[in-house]
């Protein structure tokens, strides 16, 4: 009896704290539904009395969001493609061997994972401009993001490979399969869920990336949605309902993907960071 009461008390406290935590998200969505004058009302309305749904279509059109989102998709897909093609094999090898070279490789990967983008952009920008890569700014951003995200991907996918017993591959080798055959036919299919979740995480990060895009893409037609949002937020911006609508359109697909993949993301993140 006492136990049940305590559990209910904890649940109530957790619900309150979760509500407080999620309030900024709620406030974003609520603000989008207010009119241009209602957002400046005092006291502010915590529930929209006169929801302005048309603002989404309006912002989408007037800010040319289709183009921005498309650029974000191109950049994120490109980065994920590079990261997964190169990263999976590396993660596999780092999971299967244990010697000084693997330790050194892993240490290198972990150290490269932590370099802040805003500090690395200076040498990357100058270097890329010297080799002429800045003539293809989206490609340049894709490559830079891939280099930034790959260590994290390798760490996550390596954890997945570690959980697959190597006896399965050895059995395939005994049955006459080649080394590469065992990798492609046994290990890779078994790890696909972990690879998929890690790829999604890289995709989401790349979809929201800002520093590299802001610094390397000058032409508006090629800029992603994060840069579009930045230029929308001029220092004295006051159309907060439109800005919040932009933000909502930008992140709602990510939110949906997060809700669908929540279990996988939680276990992927925790296994990568600490295990």
- Which of positions 44-83 make contact with another protein (CB under 8 A)? 44, 82
Give least dist CB 125 to another protein, A.
7
Q: Which of residues 5-34 bind another protein (CB under 8 A)?
A: 7-8, 10-11, 13-15, 17-18, 21-22, 24-25, 27-28, 31
Q: Which of residues 207-226 bind another protein (CB under 8 A)?
A: 207-211, 214-215, 225-226
Binding-site residue total for another protein (CB under 8 A)? 105
Q: Which of residues 107-126 bind another protein (CB under 8 A)?
A: 107-126
**Residue of 1, 49, 130, 175 that binds another protein (CB under 8 A):** 130
**If you ran DSSP here, which 8-state letter would residue 54 be given?**
H
Neighbours of 254 (CB within 10 A): 14
Q: Which of residues 159-198 bind another protein (CB under 8 A)?
A: 178-181, 183
Give least dist CB 61 to another protein, A.
19
Give least dist CB 34 to another protein, A.
11
Burial class (CB within 10 angstroms; exposed 0-12, middle 13-18, buried 19+) of 86: middle
Token pair of 88 as six digits: 């999976």
In this chain, which stretch among 49-57, 59-67, 138-146, 190-198 interacts with another protein, using CB under 8 A? 138-146
Residue nearer to another protein on the CB measure, 193 or 275? 275
Give least dist CB 230 to another protein, A.
6
Q: 161 with 95: CB under 8 angstroms?
A: yes
**Residue of 68, 92, 152, 161 that binds another protein (CB under 8 A):** 92
Q: 69 with 258: CB under 8 angstroms?
A: no
Spatial CB neighbours of 116, under 8 Å, sequence gap ≥ 6: none
For the chain, the farthest-separated pair of C-alpha atoms sits apart, in whole angstroms, at 76
Residue nearer to another protein on the CB measure, 114 or 174? 114
In this chain, which stretch among 57-65, 163-171, 189-197, 203-211 interacts with another protein, using CB under 8 A? 203-211
- Rounded distance between C-alpha atoms, residue 261 and residue 208, angstroms: 18
Give least dist CB 122 to another protein, A.
4
Question: Would you count residue 255 as binding another protein (CB under 8 A)?
Answer: yes
């Amino acid at each position: 009896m006492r136990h049940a009461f305590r559990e209910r008390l904890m649940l109530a406290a957790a619900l309150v704290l979760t509500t407080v935590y999620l309030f900024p998200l709620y406030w974003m969505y609520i603000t989008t539904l207010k009119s241009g004058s209602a957002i400046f009302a005092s006291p502010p309305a915590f529930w929209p009395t006169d929801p302005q749904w048309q603002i989404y279509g309006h912002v989408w059109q007037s800010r040319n969001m289709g183009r921005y989102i498309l650029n974000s998709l191109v950049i994120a897909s490109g980065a994920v493609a590079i990261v997964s093609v190169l990263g999976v094999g590396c993660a596999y090898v780092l999971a299967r061997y244990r010697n000084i070279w693997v330790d050194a490789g892993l240490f290198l990967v972990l150290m490269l994972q932590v370099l802040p983008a805003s500090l690395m952009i200076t040498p990357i920008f100058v270097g890329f401009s010297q080799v002429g890569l800045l003539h293809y700014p989206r490609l340049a951003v894709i490559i830079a993001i891939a280099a930034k995200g790959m260590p994290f991907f390798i760490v996550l996918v390596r954890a997945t490979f570690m959980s697959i017993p190597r006896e399965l591959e050895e059995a395939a080798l005994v049955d006459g399969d080649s080394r590469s055959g065992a990798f492609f036919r046994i290990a890779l299919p078994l790890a696909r869920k972990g690879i998929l979740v890690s790829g999604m995480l890289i995709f989401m990060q790349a979809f929201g990336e800002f520093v590299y895009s802001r610094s390397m893409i000058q032409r508006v037609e090629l800029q992603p949605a994060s840069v579009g949002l930045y230029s929308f937020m001029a220092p004295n911006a006051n159309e907060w309902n439109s800005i919040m609508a932009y933000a909502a359109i930008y992140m709602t697909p990510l939110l949906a993907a997060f809700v669908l993949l929540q279990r996988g993301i939680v276990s992927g993140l925790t296994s990568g960071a600490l295990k």
